């Protein structure tokens, strides 16, 4: 077993570990000192445990103790789209870019129309699009995602997404709609 690789984030940290059977997993450990960490963990567990799509991150397991919350996820060896978009040592050819965008569009289509209650991601951005060993895209980080229940096409929230990627109506009025995810996708495309 290799030594674990760690990445520290604002919301906690990621740890990647190779299991004894050779499978590599990512462990997302939540920083419970942050406001909203418990709700974020609960939301991710609830949403990711009920949906399955090849372009959504897969939860393998979770750990929920009073003082410790973590998700065990499929490991994405090529990191996030953020790395491939903004760092000089990494680049994507036009076909890779197109395939990544198609993968993300398919994931959004499933979230919005392929499940009984539409799910709005609410924070689609390059750092929440993870790339597998074949450069396939997987949408991740459902901590502030919202379900639109009972035929509703919108809901309201006080939770803010990432400035620069959130739709204006979300940022100004807290209005969550599927159109907000489409707006965020458009910013990612640019």
Q: What is the tens place of the pLDDT at every residue in 46-72?
A: 999 889 999 999 999 999 999 999 999
51 φ, ψ to 5°? -125, 150
Q: Is the pLDDT of residue 1 over 60?
A: no
User: Among the options 2, 82, 123, 152, which is catalytic?
Assistant: 123
CATH superfamily of 5-74: Phosphorylase Kinase; domain 1 (3.30.200.20)
**pLDDT above 70: percentage of residues in the chain:** 89
Residue 174's pLDDT is 82
2 pLDDT above the threshold of 60:
no
Q: Are 181 and 124 in contact (CB under 8 A)?
A: yes
pLDDT per residue as tens digits for the range 17-38:
888 888 899 999 998 988 889 9
**Sequence ranges of the chain with CATH classification 3.30.200.20:** 5-74
Q: Which residues pair with 175 in a beta bridge?
A: 156
What contacts 87, CB < 8 A, 6 or more positions away?
A: none
CATH of the structural domain 81-189, one choice from 3.40.50.1970, 1.10.510.10, 1.10.3720.10, 3.40.50.720: 1.10.510.10
The answer to whether 168 touches 155, Cβ cutoff 8 Å, is no
2 is catalytic: no
Query: Of 93, 78, 92, which is closest to residue 138 (Cα–Cα)?
Result: 78
- Segment 138-159 shows an average pLDDT of 80
Report the C-alpha gap between 158 and 103 in whole angstroms. Answer: 29
pLDDT at 87 over 90: no
């Amino acid at each position: 077993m290799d030594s674990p690789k760690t990445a520290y984030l604002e919301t906690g940290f990621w740890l990647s570990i190779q299991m004894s059977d050779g499978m590599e997993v990512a462990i997302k450990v939540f920083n419970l000192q942050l406001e909203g960490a418990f709700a974020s963990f609960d939301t991710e567990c609830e949403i990711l445990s009920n949906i399955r799509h090849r372009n959504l991150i897969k939860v393998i397991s979770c750990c929920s103790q009073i003082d410790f919350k973590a998700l065990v996820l499929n490991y994405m060896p090529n990191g996030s789209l953020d790395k491939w978009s903004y760092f000089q040592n990494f680049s994507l050819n036009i076909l890779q870019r197109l395939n990544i965008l198609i993968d993300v569009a398919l994931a959004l289509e499933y979230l919005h129309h392929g499940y009984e209650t539409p799910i709005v991601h609410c924070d689609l951005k390059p750092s929440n699009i993870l790339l597998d060993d074949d450069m396939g895209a997987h949408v991740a980080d459902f901590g502030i995602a919202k379900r639109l229940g009972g035929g509703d096409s919108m809901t309201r929230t006080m939770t803010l997404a990432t400035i620069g990627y959130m739709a204006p109506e979300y940022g100004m009025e807290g209005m969550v709609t599927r159109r907000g995810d489409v707006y965020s996708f458009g910013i990612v495309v640019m």
